[in-house]
Amino acid sequence: MPMREQLVEQLDPGGTVLLTVECQNGVVGADSALPALATEARSSGVLARIARLVAGAHGAGVQVLHAVAERRPDGRGSNHNARLFRAARRLPVQQHPGTEAVRVAAPIEVADEDIVVRRLHGLSPIAGTDVDALLRNLGCRTLVVTGVSANVAIPNAVFDAVNLGYRAVVPADAIAGVPAEYTPAMVRNTLALVATVTTTDDVLACWKHPERVTPA
């Protein structure tokens, strides 16, 4: 766990953006296409902690981006080159544009100043989307990554952020994957090598008391 001074500096509201990844009804909602993932995100408290982070970001003036995955009914522009994509086409709930499935799920509140970024292809909420350009225009230096899944989209987001020159911060209790035991192992053995791993409470404490800590 990083020293508090380092975390406060990294999470300076003026240079920080909070990213929620695939926190949409069709993924983590009651009628999810992926019920095991939705159950884990909700029963573990991950979705509630993400909602707390979003509310804390709104209160501290931290920009929030919501990354949503979609697929056109005709599949145009979507990937077909991996088992995951083929399986997604057969799911009972489809993430079609404009449907309830692609709305950000409760209890997360989307404010007027939030930005929702939608993608029709790929595995990453950053690569091949508008996110990098938006982050640079927003003056982002640190990206806080939350959401699902720890199996695919979250590590993609963290690696892409680091490769693009951003500092990545991961509140480990605000991401979910399946099975449940996979997530802490992935955080410990992979994400901790490239990102600052912390907790929801520590992030919120920095935003509630953003003053710099001066070493004695």
**For the segment 84-124, what is each residue's pLDDT rounded down to a tens digit?**
888 888 888 899 999 999 999 999 999 999 999 999 999 99
Is the entire prediction scored with pTM above 0.85? yes
CATH number of 4-208: 3.40.50.850
The residue assigned the tokens 């981006």 is: 65
Predicted confidence (pLDDT) per residue in 11-33, tens digit: 999 999 999 999 999 999 998 99
- C-alpha distances out from residue 91 to 19, 26, 73, 86, 135, Å: 26, 10, 13, 9, 32
pLDDT at 38: 97
Distance CA 90, CA 33 (A): 10
The stretches in the chain having pLDDT less than 70 are: 1-2, 210-216
Q: Of 180, 178, 156, whose CA–CA distance to 168 is shortest?
A: 156
Q: Which of 39, 63, 35 is nearest to 207 (CA)?
A: 63
Mean pLDDT of the chain: 94
pLDDT value, residue 202 = 97
What residue spans define the domains of the chain? 4-208
Report residue 182 as tokens: 């996979």
- Position 81 scores a pLDDT of 87
The alpha carbon dihedral of 65, 66, 72, 77 has a sign of: positive
Radius of gyration for the chain, computed over Cα atoms and rounded to the nearest angstrom? 17
pLDDT of residue 210: 59
